[in-house]
């Protein structure tokens, strides 16, 4: 589990550094490994990074799909994940609002 957690952290670090392709690749790899071993929490954290990468790439449909996939895992007791879902959805709304103004 530690190895997968580190992988999820790497995807976050790539995202923060603006290295979106690397963040996306690391997040997807982490999600794939976690699905194979049944590790839901770390997969959700990597999915949050992937959703945010999609938002940065202006791929709103893919972003929403990632958020919906996380919600399908029923993270009702994981307040970190739930809070980030709401934060990213708020950013989606702002993005849509900005586009409608111009």
Residue 34: CATH number of its domain: 1.25.40.10
pLDDT at 17 over 60: yes
Left if phi > 0, otherwise alpha if psi is -120 to 50, otherwise beta: which for 19?
A: beta
| Per-position DSSP letters for 14-72, written without gaps between them | HHHTT-HHHHHHHHHHHHHHHHHHT-HHHHHHHHHHHHHHHHHTT-HHHHHHHHHHHHH
Mean pLDDT for 51-74 is 95
Contact 47, 69 (CB under 8 A): yes
Task: Tell me the pLDDT band of 5, cut-offs 50, 70 and 90.
Answer: confident
Q: Count up the domains in the chain and report the number.
A: 1
- Domain extent, residue 30, equals 2-101
Contact 4, 33 (CB under 8 A): yes
Q: What is the pTM (predicted TM-score) of this model?
A: 0.87
Non-local CB neighbours of 73 within 8 Å, separated by 6+ positions: 40, 43, 44
Structure tokens at 10: 């790497």
What pLDDT shows up at residue 9? 81
């Amino acid at each position: 589990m530690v190895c997968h957690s580190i992988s999820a952290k790497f995807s976050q670090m790539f995202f923060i550094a603006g290295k979106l392709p690397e963040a996306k690749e690391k997040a997807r790899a982490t999600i794939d490994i976690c699905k194979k071993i049944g590790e839901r929490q770390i997969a959700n954290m990597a999915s949050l990074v992937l959703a945010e990468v999609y938002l940065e790439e202006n791929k709103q449909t893919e972003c929403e799909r990632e958020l919906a996939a996380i919600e399908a895992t029923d993270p009702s007791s994981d307040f970190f994940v739930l809070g980030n879902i709401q934060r990213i959805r708020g950013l989606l709304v702002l993005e849509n609002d900005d586009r409608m103004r111009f």
